[in-house]
Amino acid sequence: MVKRILLPLKFSHVSDDAIDMAIKMAECCEARLHILHVLDHRLRNPEVTDGQIAEFTRAAERQFQEEYIPLLGDFKNFYFNCWEGDIAMETAKFAESIGASFIVLGCHTKGERPSLTRLGEVAMALFQWTPCPVMLVPYKLHQQAATAQGQKPSA
């Protein structure tokens, strides 16, 4: 039985399609949707202070309120959390801590042809570390562009 679905949120166009799929799955299964945004600023720059991390966290919470609450519409069975650390590692740990049934993850588009490059570092690491299945959601703009060029869209 699916009780908890985890959506790692990157605040990008890739996340928009993934959040739509995650909502549909959560509604269908009557599951709680856990939305996690992980800040990796200190990993990229060790001189980032605790005060800066606190401000980045507040900014992420504002961005979620402004950009993603409208996408949730009438769906209310969700929880948003913002953590600091390595994105893949923290996502895998969070999935385990909540007993996630699965993770819904948007995949990238690079170039005109689908390939392994659609999977970023985070996705590749999650496939290795996560304690549950990972569902990939393709970015729709890629499908629309392929259709416009007369190609068969890839999933």
Q: Which tens digit of pLDDT belongs to each residue from 77-127? A: 999 999 999 999 999 999 999 999 999 998 876 555 555 566 778 888 888
CA dihedral 44, 47, 52, 54 (to 10 degrees): 80
55 falls within a domain:
yes
Rg (CA), the chain: 16
119 falls within a domain:
yes
Stretch 32-39: mean pLDDT:
97
Cα–Cα distance, 102 to 39 (Å, whole number) = 21
41 falls within a domain:
yes
Number of domains in the chain: 1
Residues forming beta bridges with residue 38, ordered by sequence position: 83
Q: Are 79 and 33 in contact (CB under 8 A)?
A: yes
- Domain that includes residue 62, residue range: 4-148
Rounded to two decimals, the pTM is 0.84
Q: What is the CATH number of the domain that holds 21?
A: 3.40.50.620
